Structure 1
Amino acid sequence: DVPGGYFQLVDYSAIRDEDDLAFCQWLVREGGVAAIPLTPFCATPPGTRLARLCFAKSDATMEAAAERLVRL
């Protein structure tokens, strides 16, 4: 059980050139890591490619996610 919880915004523009929903779907399919699209939280979408990652996870889950992300 992880006390509290928080998110990190990440700029994925160096990885893929698509909207955040498509990127988050691709990330789950190809990387096995879930991210949250940012645009549903914005009245005006940001000008950059951003997604949210949640860090309210166990150390083992975070390590596994990091290993998957490095392979992308």
Structure 2
Amino acid sequence: MEQEQEQEQEQEQEQEQEQEQEQEQEQEQEQEQQQERSRCRSGNAATTYIQSRAANTPLRPQPGVG
């Protein structure tokens, strides 16, 4: 009897692990989709962000200018 119960518990644990793995995979897929969406949306935002950062950096005198 005891052995049977132990086996059942092991099977249950294995099933739980499988479910957790599936959930993790789903989360990863969702993250990838969100990244793709934000990449499309912030395509322009990224360039403006870089430009604004460049504007904030102190301008060094460029060689050959002036």
Which structure is higher in strand share? 1
Which structure is higher in helix share? 2
TM-score interval (norm. to shorter): under 0.3
Q: Which has the larger radius of gyration?
A: 2
